[in-house]
Every structure is written in structure tokens, then in C-alpha cells.
Chains A and B, each alone.
Chain A
Amino acid sequence: MKKIRWQYIAFRNPYLFALLLLILAAAVNFFFEPDLFTRDTLNSNMRVFLPLILLAVGQAIVILGGGIDISVGAIVSIVNTILATQLGTGASPQRTALMLVAVLFVGMAAGALNGFFVSYLRLQPIITTYASSFLFAGVALFILPAPGGSVPDSISHFYRDTTFLGLPLGFIIIPILLLVWYLVQQTRYGRYLYAVGGKADAAYQTAVPVNTIRFSTYVASGFMAALSGIAITLLTSAGNASIGDALTLSSVTAAVIGGTALRGGVGGIAGAIIGALILGLIKNIISFANINLWWQTFANAAIIVGALAAPGVIELVRRKRS
């Protein structure tokens, strides 16, 4: 009976584990950085976390639909290099707006390419997007062979220092993401997404347009990667063709910590957002605690291995006990 109740709680609150971890990470961070909850610190943290949050949301959508997107980091790099080379410090507001919209389409086009391969040509998601990540990384390097470029001060200033209604930008964007997701979940599309990720064969037999749904998850992921690319460009005000490389694994980690099952059909973007926040806080902790930087990579990797192993370990413990 107890076992069933625990499973029930875990099922009803897939974000429970992530929330606990978030509180723990925030507490440790607070210990090292007592002014963590002041507005300026929150703002400076949020603008650093935001690119990963956006990326993790896209990743979570793909994983929910039963796939995975290893190319998101490279899409971020493409967007970053395009903006840094095409805008420069002196771009007019019109041109800036045009380019920002254009890179969103670039991101979606890259996602559409992945989606086409995976859903219509039925290729393995992990292999396909791993391969396309090299393609995209190559494009980014072609656009900007050496780090450089810049963006107008006005927009990077807007990104870094906007405190709308006294709140850092991240606190505006996260509720918008959650609201959109809440609505998506109420639509048929939302149900289809969970169905395709849960059991694609059964979904197909039930007349769910499986291929279209799969395709759309990669487009959504490409779109989110483009948003993430915009955010990171405004944050750094510079271009670097390998800026997105480190983000890919983190986006998967964030989604997994957030309770999105890698086999698909379970989870949601709220967990991915929490996961991205946790990863950001851990990064903070490591730098504040004066721990060597390679520990950060180690911690990241340890978390993903741990998150992958956790369900299995819990199952094992339960079996031993009964």
C-alpha cells in the first residue's frame, strides 16, 4: 500500500524531486552569497540562466515527444554568429528587429531539417541530431571563423538591465513560458505530444498524426534554441562559433533533472525550467566556493548520470526491501 502511495505522489508531482533539489541548491548558494535574493543579484543571475532555461524548454518538448535533440547547442551558435556579424554596434533598430525575426526562422529551419530526417525518414533521433550538430557547427564557423563581432548596446542593455515592474526579465519570461505551456497542455496538440512520446504505435493506430507531431517538436526545439541564441548573444554582446557547444548536454541534464523521462511521454517544461535553474545555481556555488572549474563539468556529468540512474536505483531498493 505504501509503495502505491509513493508512486502516486511521484506521478502526481513529477517536479517534486526537482523542486527539493532547487531549494537545496538555492540554500547552499545563499550560504556562499548572502545577497542572493536581492534584486540586482537575482537579475544578474537570471540573465545568465535564461539562455539555458530557454534551451532546456525546447529540449524537454522533444524528449516528451520521444526524441532528443543533440543539435540545439550548434543552433545557438549559428544564431549567435549571425547576429554578431550582421548587426555590429551600429545596426538600425529596423535592421535589428529584422535580424532577430530572421534568426528565429533560421532556428526553426534547422529544427525542421532535424524533424524531417527523424519523423519522415525515420532516422534515429540521437544519431541524426548529433550528425546535424556538426553541420550546424560548421555553418557557424563559416559565418564567423574567429570570435568577434558585436551587437548594438541598446538591445544588450535592454536584455541585461530590464527590470519590468521591478522584476528581472527572467521573472517575466518564465511565467510566459509556463502560461503558454499550460495552454498547450489543454489543447489536442498537447495530448498528442504525450501520446506520441508515450507509445507511438498506439498513437498512430488511434489516428494521432504521429509524424507531424514529431516533426513539430524539432521545429519547436529549433525555435527555442534560436531564442536561447538571441539571449546569449545579448548577454555576451559578442560572437563565438562554439558558444553553444557546452549548452547541449546541460539542456538534456536540465530536462532530465526536471522529471522528463528520456524514454518520452512523461514530464513537462516546468521541470526543465527548474532543472536549468538548478544547474545555474550549482555553477554559482562552484565558482563561489573556489572549487576548480573542472569540477563544474564533473558535477554536470555526475548529475546527468545520477538522474539517469535514479529511477533504476529506486526500483532496485524497492525490490530488495519487498
Chain B
Amino acid sequence: MSVSLSARNIVKHYGGVVAISDANLDVHTGEVVALIGANGSGKSTLSKIINGVVVLDGGQLLLDEKPVHFSSPQAAKNLGISTVFQELSLIPQMTVAENIWLTREPLNKAGLVDRKTVNARTEELLALFEGTYKNSLNPDITVGALPADEKQIIEILKAICFNPRLIILDEATASLDRRQVQRLFELIAQWKLEDKAVIFVSHRMEEIFRIADTFSVLRNGVTVGSGSMKDISEKELVNLMVAKESASNVVQRERLVQENSTDRKVRLEVENLRTNILKNISLQLKDGELLGVGGLVGQGQKDLLLALFGDLPYEGTVKISNESVHFKNTRQAINKGVALVPGERSKEGLLYIRSILENLLLPSWGKYGFPTKIKKAVQDSQEISTSLNLKMAGLDEPVSSLSGGNAQKVVIGKWLLRKPKLLLLDDPTKGVDVGTKAEFYKLLERLCADGTAILFYSSDDDELIGLCDRVMVMHDGIMRSELKGASLTKSNLIGASLGATNEGMG
């Protein structure tokens, strides 16, 4: 069951925008190739050409050395190519089993879907990730009700259910926790033994070095390098991606040696905050302080941010600048100088088809709306996009024309226009390329220096350790521990994340 796939000189453009102009990729049986590139470099487009979702405009795909043309996802799937999509291809209203087997349902002799077999085989597939998800995950549960990491697991199982020959993993680890990633990597190792080929698309360098055999780097739609992972260092790889030396060492430990902030005012004080998920969270955040929130994915971090933003009912005391507040909606929170950069920017943060300008001004019409000060509004928007180094064709372009990293800048920019006093960040660097991340870290430092209090949830441990003054680690809705100063190390963070009770002992 050997397989080889080559993409030669692939070209794809959308209207006048060239997404990829000369992309090349080779992958063979028993091999994991890492497809690497900054956001907007064309990785997703290339993988969507290989799986038939997007039809190429030029170049050639060779499967087992024979030219193939995929005019639809069916064509690619029938030849054994399957994909774990970055944005997931699950139907929320359907059950786990229905989703996994969609289009590949085992049929009985009468041509009807054989439910018994479906359920039995779904159980077998779920067993592959046994112990890394909550026990409630079963074939009959509706996918829409699942947390992000379990959805991701279902998406992976869906891709492997029909025993494909080539598996494309597009940011498949983004919402998985450590144990789940570990399990996935064990599976990948097994697939290699089964002569499958894997295309691994990821932003996480550490994972690429752990799992990939070869690499292929895309930059602005052109393949700029490929070879064996053994022959390249992380720094060289990053340089290939961004083509500038500076972006390599992304996280710096500058902020740890901050001036002692006793003279700063307390911006946010939370006591015994409770929701369905959160249990008695208490915290204090001063002006100019960057407080990290860490832990495994889905331990209540998002709920904490949403509750503080008035988007989730809660009990308990919340004080902003020593004034007791109880936000019933987000407008009340916004009026108190709170801003939230949400986790799912495409759904919660942006109006994709509207212009960048409209998106930026959306929360600020109170300032510019009556009487209208359009000139000032455009000018301020221009300023903020320049200061964020937003790469765009113009303020009138729709947000959908931007790459992931630049779209995220718009989300941040629209809140910065309001000059928030308390900024809540929900995993803002998820799926953002290294170059943009580096810019983003600088921005956070600048905001802190200006006195903004920031509550920063991130699924990237290095980020938390590198940037934050203190990190709260959450586990199952409670605050497991608070790490600061010398205790803020990766091993402590990981230990606390996993819910290990060694905290008291060590």
C-alpha cells in the first residue's frame, strides 16, 4: 500500500490575488513531511489543492507518479487522500458516529447504513484516544456540544476511519492538550509503519521537530526550501519562513525584571467568581500588569474571560478600579473600559465580508458617531493600522482579504481604538505566524508600559513564561496555582496544568 504524491509548480489565484505561484511538495510512503510557512504563505491553499477542495489553476499533481486532476473532494478521497481541516469539517447537529463515517458509512446488504457496525467501529476509533478526553464522549453524542479539543479528536478520527493512504493534518494539534498531542504522535508513528504518508501543517516548531522527517517551506506562495529535518535547525527554518533574521527568537524574558509595581493601582479584583464551570476564582490585577492564564485547553479559561466581559452569567464579586460591578451584558463592560479579544476571530471577532475600516470602528461609534466625525475616524484607523503594522491593500478592503495574522491585528486594533483599561485576551496568537507573534509580543509590552492591565490566556506555554509577570494555572474550573518569579518555569507550569497535586509538596 505504498503511496507517493508530488505537487509540481502549483499555481492558484483568487480573482486578482495570487495565493500560490510556485508551490512544490513531495511526500512518500512512511514519511511525515512538515509543510511550513507563515500565515498567508499558502499552506492551507496547497493542502486544499491536494485534497481537491480547491481546484488548481496551474501546475501538476502526481499521485504514484501518475498525473491526477482533482475536480472535487470526492475525487481525492476516493484515491485515499484524507484531511484534518484546520477549521474542522464537522456537522454540529450530527452525532459523533454520523460525523466520523459521513460518506464512508458501512452499509449492510440492503444498502442501508449498518448502525451496529458504525457504533462498534466508532468505539474502536475512540479507543485510540482513550483516557485523553472526558468519559462522556460516545458515538451518540452531538458534536456541537463538545469542547474544542474533543471536536478536534473527532475530526482526526473522521480522517482516518476509511484507512486513507495520505493524511493531511492541517493545524491538527492547535486545540489539543499535551496528552492528546502525544497520543496523536504515537498514532502518526504507527501510520508510518503502515506505509501511510502524512503532510503535517503546524506552527509549533517543537512538534515539527518531534514528528517530521522532511520539510517544505512556503513563503508568499513559493516553495523556498525543502529537505530532511536532520539537516536543519529551528533557527534556519524560521529564517526560511520569514526571510528576516530578527524574527527567530520570538519570546524574550525582558518583562520578568519589571519594576516593582506596588505603586500601581489595582485595576481588577475578583473574589469567588463562580459560573457553571468556574469554582471560586479570585485574582487581582494591577495597571500595567500582564497576568497570564494557563493550563490545558478547556479548563474554564474562556469562561473566566467571558464572565469578566459580561458575556456569561456569574456569581461573586468583581471590582474594577475599586468599584463593584456586575456586568449583565458586554456593553456595560465595554463602557467600563474592558475589552475582549475573542478566541475565534472568524466567528466572534470580525465581520469578514465588511471592510477593515468598518471592523476597526465598530466598537467606537460612540466616539465618532454623533455628530459624525468620519475624517477623524478614518485618520485614527489609519494610525492604529500603521502602528500595528497591518499589511493590507487599503482600509476599504474586506477583512476576508487578509491573512490570519493580519486579521487578528484588526481584532486587536478595533479595541485599541477605545484605549481599554483592562484588556482580556483569549489565546490571541492561535494560528498566527511567528513574525506576527513577535510584533504582538512587542505590542503587549508597549500596552503594559502605558498602564493597561492585561489578562492573557494562552495555550502556548512558552508565551506565558516568556511574557507574563504571573501565571495562574487553571484546572477543571479552579485556580490550581499561581506561578511567579522563580517558580515560573515550564516544568512547574506543565505540572500544574496536568492537575498534579505535587504543588503543595514542591
Give Cα distance in the complex from A319 to B77, angstroms: 43
Whether A292 is near chain B, meaning CB under 8 Å from some CB there, is no
A205 touches B89 (CB 8 A): yes
Give A202-243 as 1s and 0s: 1 = Cβ < 8 Å from B's Cβ atoms.
111111110000000000000000000000000000000000
Closest Cβ neighbor of A200 among chain B residues? B91
A208 touches B102 (CB 8 A): yes
A188 touches B103 (CB 8 A): yes
Whether B444 is near chain A, meaning CB under 8 Å from some CB there, is no
Neighbouring A residues of B74 by C-beta, 8 Å:
207, 209
A to B CB contacts below 8 Å, 10 in the list = A187-B113, A188-B103, A191-B102, A195-B91, A203-B89, A205-B73, A207-B52, A207-B74, A207-B78, A209-B72
Whether B289 is near chain A, meaning CB under 8 Å from some CB there, is no
Give Cα distance in the complex from A149 to B313, angstroms: 64
Neighbouring B residues of A265 by C-beta, 8 Å:
91, 93-94
Closest Cβ neighbor of B91 among chain A residues? A198
Whether B107 is near chain A, meaning CB under 8 Å from some CB there, is yes
On whether A205 and B85 interact (CB within 8 A), knowing A186-B113, A191-B105, A322-B313, the answer reads yes
A319 touches B93 (CB 8 A): no
Closest Cβ neighbor of A4 among chain B residues? B145
Whether B158 is near chain A, meaning CB under 8 Å from some CB there, is yes
**Contacts from A to B (Cβ < 8 Å):** 11, 183, 186-188, 190-192, 194-195, 198-199, 201-209, 265-266, 319, 322
Closest Cβ neighbor of B159 among chain A residues? A206
B88 touches A208 (CB 8 A): no
Whether B505 is near chain A, meaning CB under 8 Å from some CB there, is no
On whether A188 and B73 interact (CB within 8 A), knowing A198-B92, A203-B91, the answer reads no
Whether B1 is near chain A, meaning CB under 8 Å from some CB there, is no
Which 7 A-B residue pairings sit nearest by Cβ, starting from the closest?
A186-B112, A198-B91, A205-B89, A207-B73, A202-B89, A207-B77, A198-B93
Counting chain B residues whose Cβ lies within 8 A of the other chain, the interface size class is 20 to 34
Whether B371 is near chain A, meaning CB under 8 Å from some CB there, is no
B103 touches A206 (CB 8 A): yes
Give Cα distance in the complex from A183 to B108, angstroms: 13
Closest Cβ neighbor of B111 among chain A residues? A187
Whether B90 is near chain A, meaning CB under 8 Å from some CB there, is yes
Give Cα distance in the complex from A265 to B92, angstroms: 9
Closest Cβ neighbor of B78 among chain A residues? A207
A195 touches B83 (CB 8 A): no
Neighbouring A residues of B321 by C-beta, 8 Å:
none
A206 touches B73 (CB 8 A): yes
A194 touches B91 (CB 8 A): yes
Give Cα distance in the complex from A204 to B88, angstroms: 12
Neighbouring A residues of B107 by C-beta, 8 Å:
188
Whether B132 is near chain A, meaning CB under 8 Å from some CB there, is no
Neighbouring A residues of B276 by C-beta, 8 Å:
322
Neighbouring B residues of A194 by C-beta, 8 Å:
91, 93-94, 98
Neighbouring A residues of B90 by C-beta, 8 Å:
199, 202
Neighbouring A residues of B51 by C-beta, 8 Å:
205
Query: Do most interface residues of chain B lie in helix, strand or loop, or is the interface mixed?
Result: loop
Give B65-93 as 1s and 0s: 1 = Cβ < 8 Å from A's Cβ atoms.
00000001110111000010100111111
On whether A191 and B113 interact (CB within 8 A), knowing A199-B92, A202-B91, A322-B313, the answer reads yes
Whether B488 is near chain A, meaning CB under 8 Å from some CB there, is no
Neighbouring A residues of B91 by C-beta, 8 Å:
194-195, 198-199, 202-203, 265
Neighbouring A residues of B83 by C-beta, 8 Å:
205
B105 touches A188 (CB 8 A): yes
Could you tell me which residues of chain B, from 216 to 234, have a CB within 8 Å of some CB in chain A? none
Give Cα distance in the complex from A186 to B409, angstroms: 47
Give Cα distance in the complex from A186 to B116, angstroms: 12
A183 touches B112 (CB 8 A): yes
Give B95-133 as 1s and 0s: 1 = Cβ < 8 Å from A's Cβ atoms.
000100011010100011101000000000000000000
Neighbouring A residues of B158 by C-beta, 8 Å:
206
Give Cα distance in the complex from A187 to B83, angstroms: 24
Q: Which of A192, A201, A205 has the most CB of B within 10 A?
A: A205
Closest Cβ neighbor of B74 among chain A residues? A207
B19 CB → nearest A CB, Å: 17
B115 CB → nearest A CB, Å: 8
Whether B306 is near chain A, meaning CB under 8 Å from some CB there, is no
On whether A11 and B103 interact (CB within 8 A), knowing A191-B98, A204-B73, A207-B73, the answer reads no
Give Cα distance in the complex from A69 to B176, angstroms: 42
Q: Pick the residue among B77, B88, B98, B111 that contacts A202 (CB under 8 A).
A: B88
Give Cα distance in the complex from A201 to B48, angstroms: 13
Closest Cβ neighbor of A196 among chain B residues? B91
Neighbouring B residues of A192 by C-beta, 8 Å:
102-103
Neighbouring A residues of B113 by C-beta, 8 Å:
186-188, 190-191
Neighbouring B residues of A209 by C-beta, 8 Å:
72, 74
B94 touches A207 (CB 8 A): no
Whether B400 is near chain A, meaning CB under 8 Å from some CB there, is no
Give Cα distance in the complex from A58 to B94, angstroms: 22
On whether A207 and B112 interact (CB within 8 A), knowing A11-B142, A198-B94, the answer reads no
On whether A195 and B102 interact (CB within 8 A), knowing A183-B112, A188-B113, the answer reads yes
Whether B392 is near chain A, meaning CB under 8 Å from some CB there, is no
Give Cα distance in the complex from A204 to B103, angstroms: 10
Neighbouring B residues of A204 by C-beta, 8 Å:
53, 73
A193 CB → nearest B CB, Å: 11
B93 touches A266 (CB 8 A): yes
A206 touches B89 (CB 8 A): yes
Give Cα distance in the complex from A203 to B103, angstroms: 9
A188 CB → nearest B CB, Å: 6
Give Cα distance in the complex from A266 to B144, angstroms: 13
19 new A-B pairs (CB below 8 Å) besides A188-B105, A208-B102?
A: A11-B142, A188-B107, A191-B98, A191-B105, A192-B103, A195-B91, A195-B94, A198-B92, A199-B91, A199-B92, A199-B93, A202-B91, A203-B89, A204-B73, A205-B73, A205-B85, A207-B73, A265-B93, A266-B93
Neighbouring B residues of A322 by C-beta, 8 Å:
276, 313
Neighbouring A residues of B78 by C-beta, 8 Å:
207
Neighbouring B residues of A319 by C-beta, 8 Å:
313
B102 touches A203 (CB 8 A): yes
Neighbouring B residues of A207 by C-beta, 8 Å:
52, 72-74, 76-78, 103
Neighbouring B residues of A188 by C-beta, 8 Å:
103, 105, 107, 113
Give Cα distance in the complex from A298 to B91, angstroms: 37
Neighbouring B residues of A187 by C-beta, 8 Å:
111-113
Closest Cβ neighbor of A267 among chain B residues? B93
Neighbouring B residues of A198 by C-beta, 8 Å:
91-94
Closest Cβ neighbor of A195 among chain B residues? B91
